[in-house]
């Protein structure tokens, strides 16, 4: 089972990387910890959006062999606030493997998506999974693409229907050409931006959106 949590709080970076947290999670059946932290490495990222009063500090993904209750209690104990979900993962582009605890050499953008009122869940998933995925891959310089559809919320909090992680070159923090992979060609950049935005609008991903630029770390717990 894969669990994901949005966390808020000062000093989270240090607490999330602590050995003690990994030990606690391993003891309750977790097998992998992924940290997506809004840290100094991505402070210059220009694209960011927040629907929350306070922007999300980190997104934590945990694979576990047990239930979510003990994991959720642990996440609440290390943060000021936590919203959590059970998710179903799809990986259109598998992120490159990392040594345990190493930082991915990437800008890892995480988007929190919500189904617009004029679409059914089934139609939204069709437009996102079946139609948009190819467009996103063909118009951006992504080298990791993970789609997490929410199956069930496990805390109180604002509704979230999906969490999407996309890995970009670090230069994409400030360069549209690096973000879209347009090779410095302004006409190609505009073509890619237009195609991508049309696709995003088709399933409402431009509305009620949270976009969190992060650094990505993965720890093996077993």
Q: Which of 121, 115, 107, 92 is closest to 179 using CA atoms?
A: 107
Average pLDDT, rounded, for the chain: 97
pTM: 0.96
Q: How far apart are the first and last CA of the chain?
A: 15
What is the share, in percent, of the chain residues with pLDDT greater than 90? 97
- What's the topology of domain 2-220? Alpha-Beta Plaits (3.30.70)
pLDDT(202) > 80: yes
Q: Would you say 190 and 177 are in contact if contact means Cβ atoms under 8 Å apart?
A: no
Domain boundaries in the chain? 2-220
Closest to 209 measured CA to CA, from 84, 61, 48: 48
Name the band, by pLDDT with cuts 50, 70 and 90, for residue 46: confident
> Is pLDDT at 190 greater than 80 in this prediction?
yes
The yes-or-no verdict on residue 47 having pLDDT over 90 is no
Cα 41 to the center of its chain, rounded Å: 16
pLDDT digits (tens, 9 = 90+) for 109-168: 999 999 999 999 999 999 999 999 999 999 999 999 999 999 999 999 999 999 999 999
**Residue range 76-117, pLDDT digits in tens:** 999 999 999 999 999 999 999 999 999 999 999 999 999 999
Q: Which residues pair with 35 in a beta bridge?
A: 60, 217
Per-residue pLDDT averaged across 181-194, rounded? 98
**Residue in the block written with tokens 């910890």:** 33
Return the higher-pLDDT residue of 58 and 13: 58
Residues in the chain: 222
Among 222, 218, 221, residue whose Cα is nearest residue 101:
218
């Amino acid at each position: 089972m894969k669990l994901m949590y949005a966390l808020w709080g000062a000093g989270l970076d240090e607490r999330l990387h602590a050995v003690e947290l990994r030990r606690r999670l391993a003891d309750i059946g977790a097998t992998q910890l992924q940290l997506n932290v809004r840290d100094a490495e991505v402070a210059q990222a220009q694209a960011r959006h927040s629907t929350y009063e306070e922007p999300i500090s980190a997104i934590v993904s945990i694979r576990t062999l047990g239930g979510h209750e003990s994991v959720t209690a642990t996440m609440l104990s290390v943060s000021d606030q936590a919203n959590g979900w059970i998710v179903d993962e799809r990986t259109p582009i598998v992120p490159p493997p990392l040594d345990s605890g190493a930082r991915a050499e990437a800008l890892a953008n995480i988007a929190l998506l919500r189904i617009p009122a004029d679409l059914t869940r089934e139609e939204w998933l069709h437009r996102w999974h079946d139609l948009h995925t190819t467009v996103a891959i063909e118009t951006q310089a992504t080298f990791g693409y993970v789609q997490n559809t929410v199956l069930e919320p496990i805390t109180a909090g604002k509704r979230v229907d999906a969490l999407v992680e996309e890995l970009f070159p670090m230069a994409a923090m400030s360069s549209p050409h690096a973000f879209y992979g347009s090779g410095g060609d302004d006409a190609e950049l505009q073509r890619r931006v237009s195609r991508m935005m049309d696709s995003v609008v088709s399933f409402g991903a431009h509305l009620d959106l949270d976009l969190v630029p992060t650094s990505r770390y993965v720890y093996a717990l077993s």
